Structure 1
Amino acid sequence: MTKLQYRGVSYSNDNREQTSSQAVDHSYRGQHYSAPLRHEAAPVDTQVELQYRGHVYQHRQAEAANQVENA
């Protein structure tokens, strides 16, 4: 097995799934967060208008469920 390194830090991808619920300090785009790496997904709130690159995102939860069932 090849030893993996990123910027001088060795790591193994044998256990890529993070199962720890311990909070980890990290930052993303200048925002500081302290949260566990693994957490449950937030419930979908269809009342919130989401936008991505200037386009309104349409909630299609029912349509996605139908596609999964018919696949």
Structure 2
Amino acid sequence: MTTGQLVYRGVPYGTHQHQPLPSVEPVEHVYRGVHYRMPLKHEPLPVDESLELHYRGHVYHHRQQQAKLDLQAG
């Protein structure tokens, strides 16, 4: 086994065998019971800053514009 070779549960493998090129063809998958049909490679959706996000009992809002201003000022 070479030093740069990866091992999973004692079985060596090369990354060239397991890294398919991102496809623009839609792929069907399920996440938390919701069916999706999207390509593996896609552009991110635009951020809706008015959207209210909830995480573990806390409410969040996207602050993308404020973050850009903070970066430009600093």
- Name the TM-score class by shorter chain: 0.5 to 0.7
Q: Counterparts of 1:1-71 in structure 2 under 5 Å? A: 1-2=4-5, 12=15, 18-69=21-72
Which whole-Å deviations, capped at 9, do the CAs of 1:22-41 have from their partners, x for residues lacking one?
Answer: 01111112222221111111
CA distance in 1, matches of 2:71, 2:21: 26
Report the structure number with the largest CA radius of gyration: 2
* Residue identity (%): 40
Q: Runs of 5+ in structure 1 lacking a partner?
A: none
**TM-score, reference length from structure 2:** 0.60
**TM-score, reference length from structure 1:** 0.62
Offset, 1:55: 1.0
Q: Runs of 5+ in structure 2 lacking a partner?
A: none
Offset, 1:11: 6.8
- Indicate the RMSD between aligned Cα atoms, in angstroms: 3.4
